[in-house]
Amino acid sequence: MHIEHHEVFPVGPDRLAELFADEEFVRTTNERMRAQNVQIQIADEPSGAFTVSVQRGQSMEHVPEPLRRFAPHGIQLSQVERWEAPAKDGSRSGSVQVGLEGIPVSFDGKMTLRQAGANGSELGLFGDLVARIPLFGGAVERAARPAVTGALRAQRKAVEDWAGQQ
């Protein structure tokens, strides 16, 4: 299932990249999604290319219904975001891969980050959500789609809250 989603953030691309590479911010965003046992690794600095790797668990009540039969005790998710260094205009490109431990469901996508208005930025996500589960793949993909777009909304809300405290 192809997914294309955009969110507008209240800070510029440079500041947003700094937040995406900040362990405390990443942890807060994951906690907003009710993640458990969050492990974060950040490689390099947001002034250039950087990578953010997150491992997290989700308890059963936060797992989409069609996935529950494959993960009766919750899921373990791994997510890797690789951001390129900023272009001259401050925009960035990146990639994101998400996988579920022991379940053949994955998301593989590209990301764009660019200036939006005088003080904001727009994050675009373009990718494919694939559930390789005979007979149930389509239902799992449809159920998991809101989790993918919801993760971006959780990031936006965390940035809005952070910006409101500054």
Question: Do 83 and 17 meet the contact criterion of CB atoms below 8 Å apart?
Answer: yes
- Please name each of the domains of the chain with its CATH number: 2-164 (3.30.530.20)
The pLDDT of residue 64 is above 80:
no
Amino acid 144: pLDDT: 83
Average pLDDT over residues 76-88: 96
pLDDT digits (tens, 9 = 90+) for 90-111: 999 999 999 988 888 899 999 9
pLDDT digits (tens, 9 = 90+) for 6-44: 999 999 999 999 999 999 999 999 988 888 899 999 999
Amino acid 42: pLDDT: 98
Average pLDDT over residues 44-63: 89
Q: What share of the chain has pLDDT > 70, as a percent?
A: 99
pTM reported for the whole predicted model: 0.89
Backbone angles phi, psi at 49, to 5 degrees: -75, 145
Amino acid 166: pLDDT: 61
